[in-house]
């Protein structure tokens, strides 16, 4: 019999989606049947995080949850993006998915956008770590044994020296004033490579660091990026 009560989790490869997966698994309700990741079809990397799709696939294998990659055009407009997502959500609905989980913590505008985007889809957005204190969340993340590194950051908010650093208590202590410890305001983004929801660590190789301008117009920001890739076996 077809399961019409399935849940997928939006998977970026960072700490928030990993902690959301852990939280859903721990609660035992709405345990994800699918990890869904969007990547730029040209670079084959997760937007903003800049994590390569090969490492995303390694993460998904390590969680032992089914995964799927959705490729988005490199220069997609909002209209293009919404059309592609509309078609994908229709397919997910037909496949029995009724819940979409996200690792958002406290940004009301993002939550409202997702709720509006899903309002006519028959799929309900859920937010397993919503409302948690970000200071406590990141301390729990560390104490539970999760491992993550900073792979991109906003240079208007943080120094490039934070790039490549492990998310640990020393990292939290060194953060500049005003920077959210979970990076919820977009200050930094991470790659999570180990933790309670992984059956094994995800091995990766460290590459070059660079500075790029992401976005355009009023949304343009100077970002530092750290190239990482799959471990050469």
Same domain for 29 and 104?
yes
pLDDT band at residue 215 using 50, 70 and 90 as cut-offs? low
User: What was the pLDDT predicted at 37?
Assistant: 97
Over residues 61-86, the mean pLDDT reads 88
Over residues 72-94, the mean pLDDT reads 87
Q: Which domain holds residue 33?
A: 6-126
DSSP characters for 175-188? PPTT--TT-TTSSE
Buried/exposed code over 198-218 (b: 16+ C-beta within 10 A; e: otherwise): beeebebeeeeeeeeeeeeee
Residue 194 in this model has a pLDDT that exceeds 90: yes
Same domain for 23 and 121?
yes
Strand 188-194 to 147-154 pairing: antiparallel
Name the pTM for this structure.
Answer: 0.93
pLDDT tens track for 8-33: 999 999 999 999 999 999 988 889 99
Same domain for 36 and 119?
yes
CATH number of the domain where residue 67 is located: 3.40.50.620
Among candidate residues 71, 92, 126, the one where a domain is terminated: 126
Among candidate residues 108, 126, 144, the one where a domain is terminated: 126
Same domain for 122 and 138?
no
Q: Return the structure tokens found at 221.
A: 């920001």
Buried/exposed code over 28-57 (b: 16+ C-beta within 10 A; e: otherwise): eebebbbbbbbbbeeeebbbbbbbbbebbe
Give the least confident one: 7-16, 82-91, 102-111. 82-91
Same domain for 160 and 107?
no
User: What was the pLDDT predicted at 93?
Assistant: 95
> Is residue 56 in some structural domain?
yes
């Amino acid at each position: 019999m077809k399961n019409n009560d399935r849940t997928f989790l939006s998977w970026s490869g960072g700490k928030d989606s990993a902690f959301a997966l852990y939280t859903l698994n721990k609660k035992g309700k709405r345990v994800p049947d699918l990890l869904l990741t969007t990547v730029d079809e040209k670079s084959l990397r997760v937007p903003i995080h800049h994590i390569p799709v090969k490492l995303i696939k390694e993460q998904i294998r390590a969680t032992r949850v089914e995964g799927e990659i959705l490729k988005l055009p490199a220069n997609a407009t909002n209209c293009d993006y919404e059309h592609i997502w509309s078609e994908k959500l229709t397919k997910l609905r037909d496949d029995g998915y009724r819940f979409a989980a996200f690792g958002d913590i406290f940004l009301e505008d993002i939550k409202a956008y997702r709720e509006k985007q899903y309002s006519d889809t028959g799929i309900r957005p859920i937010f397993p770590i919503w409302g948690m204190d970000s200071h406590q969340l990141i301390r729990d993340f560390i104490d539970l044994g999760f491992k993550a590194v900073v792979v991109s950051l906003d240079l208007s908010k943080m120094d490039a020296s934070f790039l490549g650093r492990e998310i640990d208590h020393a990292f939290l202590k060194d953060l500049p004033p005003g920077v959210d410890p979970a990076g919820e305001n977009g200050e930094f983004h991470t790659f999570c490579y180990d933790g309670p929801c992984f059956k094994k660590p995800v091995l990766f190789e460290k590459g070059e660091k660079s500075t790029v301008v992401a976005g355009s117009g009023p949304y343009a920001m100077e970002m530092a990026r750290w190239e990482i890739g799959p471990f050469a076996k």
